[in-house]
């Protein structure tokens, strides 16, 4: 069976994330302890308690999520789950977790990369993001008319746009007038990620990518930038991660590529959305997976491994 491991991006973090598996499994404690050593701060305290209300700051959100993704994966493996996927993918920040899961990046290397990535995105970016339940070709010219840009193509009928707050408001107003039954959702981000507003951050980040060690493996890793698989060489991977910062996340194209490659099972690791504690959280990407399967007629099995309860269910 060909299995795809997937990892969510920003927006799937929450205070208390990871505490359940940290308290129950040595495999998770090892991941969190290692992350704290690499990053130079107590990432378990930040993740579980959010003492200074910094969890949603991009420079902290990204390493927190990466750590949770890999902790969930390591617990899954410790309970007998198969840790050798046929392919991996991640949404935005999650692409770095996908590279770790495929053995392309060491965990330590990925932590340093996303810490710097988040720092640069927060320091040099600007703007905000809005999700529209409208297809790419319809919303793109509207967005561009107001100096905004497409930041993500999640589904045939879900496109994310980024730009300055006042420009996004004009796009939203236009959409309300022309498409009153298609309400927009403003997202909570520190900038217009994956648009031209991130070019400066990407230029500074390139040096980090150039210095990082990439070891391509036989496991295919999907690229948000291209919509297809990453090149099987280190320089090609670095280049696509550089471009990913200021180009749209082509998530639906990633899923189409995985379906065409014969994926039969999808396992989502880490993060969570919705109210309540860890046990009550829902997987971040599950809804998009369901709609993508309906749109394409594909029927892969979907499994969540985002907290203690779901990981234990996935490995029972």
- Measured distance CA(43)–CA(29) in Å, rounded: 11
Residues 9 and 80 in one domain: yes
Instruction: Let me know: does 73 contact 311? Beta carbons within 8 Å.
Output: no
* Structural domain count, the chain: 2
Residues 174 and 302 in one domain: no
- Measured distance CA(120)–CA(135) in Å, rounded: 30
Residues 151 and 271 in one domain: no
Residue 3 CB coordination number (10 Å): 18
Host H or E run for residue 268: strand 265-269
Q: Which string of DSSP letters, residue by residue, matches 51-91?
A: TTS-TTSHHHHHHHHHHHHHHHHHHHHHTT-----SEEEES
pTM listed for this prediction: 0.97
Final residue before a domain boundary, out of 164, 187, 210: 187
Final residue before a domain boundary, out of 152, 169, 187: 187
What SS3 class is residue 269?
Answer: strand
Final residue before a domain boundary, out of 140, 157, 187: 187
Structure confidence at residue 36 (pLDDT)? 98
Residues 40 and 98 in one domain: yes
Provide, for the chain, the percentages of residues in helix, strand and coil under a 3-state DSSP scheme, each rounded to the nearest 5: 50, 15, 35
Residues 60 and 203 in one domain: yes
- The neighbouring-strand residues paired with 161 are 130, 150
Residues 239 and 109 in one domain: yes
Structure confidence at residue 215 (pLDDT)? 97
Instruction: Let me know: does 102 contact 219? Beta carbons within 8 Å.
Output: yes
Structure confidence at residue 125 (pLDDT)? 84
Structure confidence at residue 1 (pLDDT)? 85
Residues 175 and 96 in one domain: no
All residues at 6 or more sequence positions from 111 whose CB lies less than 8 Å from its CB, including other chains: 35, 38, 39, 63, 66, 67
Structure confidence at residue 231 (pLDDT)? 93
B/e letters for 255-271, b = 16+ CB within 10 Å, e = fewer, are: bbbbbeeebebbbbbbb
Residues 63 and 99 in one domain: yes
CATH number of the domain within which 147 lies: 3.30.70.250
Structure confidence at residue 205 (pLDDT)? 98
pLDDT per residue of the chain (316 residues) written in tens, 0 to 9: 899 999 999 999 999 999 999 999 999 999 999 999 999 999 999 999 999 999 999 999 999 999 999 999 999 999 999 989 999 999 999 999 999 999 999 999 999 999 999 999 999 989 999 999 999 999 999 999 999 999 999 999 999 999 999 999 999 999 999 999 999 999 978 899 999 999 999 999 999 999 999 999 999 999 999 999 999 999 999 999 999 999 999 999 999 999 999 999 999 999 999 999 999 999 999 999 999 999 999 999 999 999 999 999 999 9
Residues 90 and 200 in one domain: yes
- Is residue 180 classed exposed, middle or buried when 0-12, 13-18 and 19+ CB atoms within 10 A define those classes? exposed
Options 92, 97, 223, 226, the catalytic residue: 92
CATH number of the domain within which 117 lies: 3.40.366.10
User: Has 92 been annotated as catalytic?
Assistant: yes
Options 194, 223, 226, 230, the catalytic residue: 194
- The residue segments making up the domain with residue 93 are 3-124+195-315
Q: Which string of DSSP letters, residue by residue, matches 128-160?
A: EEEEESS-HHHHHHHHHHTT-EEEEEEETTEEE
Q: Which two tokens stand for residue 196?
A: 């031209």
First to last CA, the chain: 18
φ and ψ at residue 211, rounded to 5 degrees: -85, -15
Residues 89 and 221 in one domain: yes
- Measured distance CA(244)–CA(92) in Å, rounded: 8
Residues 72 and 201 in one domain: yes
All residues at 6 or more sequence positions from 279 whose CB lies less than 8 Å from its CB, including other chains: 20, 307, 308, 309
- Measured distance CA(304)–CA(6) in Å, rounded: 10
Residues 306 and 290 in one domain: yes
């Amino acid at each position: 069976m060909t299995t795809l491991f997937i990892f969510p991006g920003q927006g799937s973090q929450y205070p208390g994330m990871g505490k359940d598996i940290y308290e129950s499994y040595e495999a998770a404690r090892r991941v969190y302890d290692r992350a704290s050593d690499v990053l130079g701060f107590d990432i378990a305290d930040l993740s579980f308690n959010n003492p200074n209300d910094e969890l949603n700051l991009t420079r902290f959100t990204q390493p927190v999520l990466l750590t949770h993704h890999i902790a969930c994966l390591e617990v899954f493996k410790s309970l007998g789950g198969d840790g050798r996927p046929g392919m991996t993918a991640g949404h935005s920040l999650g692409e770095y977790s996908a590279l770790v899961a495929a053995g392309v990046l060491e965990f330590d290397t990925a932590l340093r990369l996303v810490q710097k990535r988040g720092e640069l995105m927060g320091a040099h970016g600007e703007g905000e993001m809005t999700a529209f339940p409208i297809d790419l070709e319809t919303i793109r010219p509207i967005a561009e008319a107001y100096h905004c840009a497409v930041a993500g193509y999640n589904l045939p009928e879900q496109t994310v746009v980024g730009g300055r707050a006042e420009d996004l408001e004009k796009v939203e107003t236009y959409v309300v007038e022309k498409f009153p039954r298609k309400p927009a959702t403003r997202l909570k981000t520190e900038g217009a990620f994956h648009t031209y507003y991130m070019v400066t951050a990407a230029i500074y980040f390139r040096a980090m990518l150039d210095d990082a060690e990439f070891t391509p493996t036989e496991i295919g890793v999907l690229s948000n930038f291209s919509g297809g698989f990453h090149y099987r060489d280190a320089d090609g991977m670095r280049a696509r991660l550089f471009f990913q910062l200021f180009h749209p996340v082509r998530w639906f194209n990633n899923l189409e590529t995985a379906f065409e490659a014969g994926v039969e099972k999808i396992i989502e690791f880490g993060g969570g959305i919705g109210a309540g504690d860890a046990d009550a959280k829902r997987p971040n990407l599950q809804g998009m997976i369901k709609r993508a399967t309906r749109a394409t007629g594909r029927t892969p099995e979907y499994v969540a491994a985002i907290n203690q309860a779901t990981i234990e269910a996935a490995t029972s």
